[in-house]
Chain A
Amino acid sequence: MTTTKRAHVHDRYGWRAWLGGFFSSSIGLKWLMALTGIGLLLYLVAHLIGNLKIFFGVDPVTGAYEIDLYSEALRTLGGHLVPKGSVLLLFRIGLSLMFIIHIGSAVALTRRNLAARGKGRYDATRHYAAANYASRTMRMSGTIVLLFVLFHVADLTLGYANPDFVYGAVHDNMVASLSRPIVALFYMAANVALAFHIYHGAWSLFQSIGTVNPKYNSLRRYFAVSFAAFILLGNLSIPLAIWTGWVS
C-alpha cells in the first residue's frame, strides 16, 4: 500500500521549469493570483471612477458628454509624446495578461486540488465553519465574471453586441446598451458575482502574499467588505440609473 504521489510534480521538469520552481509551485501560483488580483482590483477602482463620469452630464465648455471626454483622454494618454492610443494599448495588454495569468493559475490549481481530493467524499454533510459562500464559489463567480467581461468588451469596447454602437460616443453607447432591460439585468447580476469574488479575493490576497500581523489581521475583513461593497454599489448605480431613465 503506497501513498500516491501526484502527477503535477512532473510539471517541474516540463515547459514550466524555465520559470523556476517558484512558479510551478502552488504557493507561487497563489502569489501570481494575489498579485494579478491586486492589479485587477486597482483596475476596478480606476474603471469605476472613470465610469461615474456618466453622472456628470455635459461639459459646459465643449458641449460634449463628460464621459466621452474621459474616453478621449484615455486614448490620448501620453499626449503628443507617443502615438495616439498607444498608452491605452499598453494598459489593455497588461490587463489581458493579468487576466490570463490569474485564470491560468486558477485552472492549474483547481486541477491539482481536485487530484489531491481524489474520489473519496464524506457521507455526512460537512459543516463548514470558516469557509463562506464567497470562498466556496470562487470558480463559479470567476466564470460568471469572465463571461461578463467578454460580453462587456463586445458590447461597449468593440460594439459587436450593441446594434447602436458608435465609436467614441461612450455616453450614447452606454445608454443604448443598458436601456435594454435584459442587458441591464445581466450587468447587475454579473456585478453581484463580481462582488462575491472580490470579497474573498480582497481578503485572501493578504494571506497569499504573507501579510499578517495580529495587530491588523481583523482589518483585512473590513477592507474586503468595504472594497467589495464600494465596487458593487458603484457599478450597480450605472445600469440602474440608465434603466430607470435617470441618465439618458
Chain B
Amino acid sequence: MNLSLKIWRQASPDAPGGFKTYEARNVSPEASFLEMLDELNERLNSEGEEPIAFDHDCREGICGMCGVMINGNPHGPQDGTATCQLHMRKFSDGDSITIEPWRATALPVIRDLVVDRTAFDRIIEAGGYISVNTGAAPDANIIAIPKEAAEASMDAASCIGCAACVAACPNSAANLFAAAKISHLSLLPQGQPERWSRVVAMVETMEEYFGSCTNHGECETACPKNISIDFIAMMNRDFIKAQFKNFVRIGQ
C-alpha cells in the first residue's frame, strides 16, 4: 500500500524542527511500523538525505525504547501495543500518517522522533530498588506471597518505561509510570523495608520533572501494557500513609 507520512524532523535538541512529508510506496501490510520506517530510511539514505532517527531496541515490545505519537495516538491505533509491535495492516492504502515525538518539558527531543527519558531514570534511582541479603541465592519460592499480591505486582512490573503515559497525559504527568514502579516492589514482601521511603523519594523526584494527575485516565488507555490507574490510587494511598510511617520511624 502507499502512504503519505508526515514526520517530525529536528536535527538537534536546540534546532527548531518541523514536519516533512514523505511518500512511502509499496508498503507491505506484513511490515511492522518500525520496518516501514526502516524501508523509508534506506531510501532516504540512497537519496542522500539524512535518515529519520527513531528509538528502538528489542522490537518485541519489552524494552520500551520505541514509542511515537501516531496520528495523535501514543503507540498508534492498536490497544495494548508498543510501536514496534504495531503492524501496517492496521492502516489502509492512501492513509496519511502523522508521526511525532513525545512532547513534554521533561522529555526533550534529542533528534527527530527520539526523546530523552533521563527523567525516568532519575525516578528509578530515587527508590526503585530493594535491599537484599548478599550471599548464596535463596531457594525459589521460599517467601510465601499471596496470589493477588503476586499478580498485581506482575501487572505493575509489566511497565516498560516507554513514557507513553506522559505523552498521553494532558498534564504531562508520569504518575502511571511512577505508580507502576512503586507498586511492583511495594506489593511484595521483599519490597517492604523501603516501602515508605521509596514512595516519598520516587514521588518527589517524579514531581521535579512532571505534571500532576487529574485523573483523566488517558495514560491507562495509552499504555502498551494496559497498566491500570488503580496503581496511581495505590500510590496516592501509600504516599499519605508514608507521611505517618516515616514520622514514626524517625522517632523510634
CB of B83 to closest CB in A, whole Å: 15
Is the CB of B2 closer than 8 A to any CB of chain A?
no
Is the CB of A236 closer than 8 A to any CB of chain B?
no
Are B98 and A1 in contact, with the CB atoms below 8 A? no
Among A6, A123, A127, the residue within 8 A (CB) of B100 is A123
Counting contact residues on chain B (CB < 8 A from A), the size range is: 35 or more
Is the CB of A26 closer than 8 A to any CB of chain B?
yes
Interface size on A, residues (CB 8 A): 51
CB of A218 to closest CB in B, whole Å: 12
Contact string, B185-216, partner A, CB cutoff 8 A, digits 1/0?
A: 00000000000000010011001111111111
Instruction: Spot the interface stretch: A44-52, A65-73, A111-119, A188-196.
Output: A111-119
With contacts A113-B212, A212-B233 taken as known, whether A6 is within 8 angstroms of B239 at the C-beta atoms is no
Is the CB of A21 closer than 8 A to any CB of chain B?
yes
Is the CB of A199 closer than 8 A to any CB of chain B?
no
B residues in contact with A127, CB < 8 Å = 71-73
Is the CB of B173 closer than 8 A to any CB of chain A?
yes
Q: How far is the CA of A29 from the CA of B207 in the complex (A)?
A: 12
Is the CB of B4 closer than 8 A to any CB of chain A?
no
A residues in contact with B220, CB < 8 Å = 130
Instruction: Spot the interface stretch: B28-36, B85-93, B105-113.
Output: B105-113
B residues in contact with A21, CB < 8 Å = 200, 204
Is the CB of B218 closer than 8 A to any CB of chain A?
yes
With contacts A6-B209, A207-B229, A209-B237 taken as known, whether A118 is within 8 angstroms of B105 at the C-beta atoms is yes
With contacts A128-B218, A130-B220, A207-B215 taken as known, whether A26 is within 8 angstroms of B104 at the C-beta atoms is no
The residue on A at minimum CB distance from B96 is: A124
Is the CB of A138 closer than 8 A to any CB of chain B?
yes
A residues in contact with B103, CB < 8 Å = 117-118, 120-122
Among B104, B230, B232, B237, the residue within 8 A (CB) of A117 is B104
Are B73 and A115 in contact, with the CB atoms below 8 A? no
Are B104 and A136 in contact, with the CB atoms below 8 A? no
Among B73, B106, B214, the residue within 8 A (CB) of A4 is B106
Contact string, A121-153, partner B, CB cutoff 8 A, digits 1/0?
A: 111111111110001101000000000000000
CB of B120 to closest CB in A, whole Å: 10
Are B105 and A6 in contact, with the CB atoms below 8 A? yes
B residues in contact with A115, CB < 8 Å = 105, 211
Are B243 and A20 in contact, with the CB atoms below 8 A? yes
CB of B97 to closest CB in A, whole Å: 9
Among A1, A26, A30, A130, the residue within 8 A (CB) of B108 is A1
CB of A41 to closest CB in B, whole Å: 16
Among A8, A113, A121, the residue within 8 A (CB) of B171 is A113
22 A-B pairs in the complex with CB atoms less than 8 angstroms apart: A3-B118, A3-B209, A4-B209, A22-B239, A29-B212, A30-B212, A30-B236, A31-B236, A109-B214, A113-B171, A116-B104, A116-B106, A117-B104, A117-B211, A120-B104, A122-B103, A126-B72, A136-B170, A204-B214, A206-B233, A208-B215, A210-B236
What 17 additional pairs, Cβ within 8 angstroms, besides A116-B173, A117-B103? A1-B108, A6-B106, A26-B211, A27-B207, A116-B171, A116-B212, A117-B171, A117-B211, A122-B69, A124-B72, A126-B168, A127-B72, A130-B218, A136-B170, A210-B236, A210-B240, A212-B234
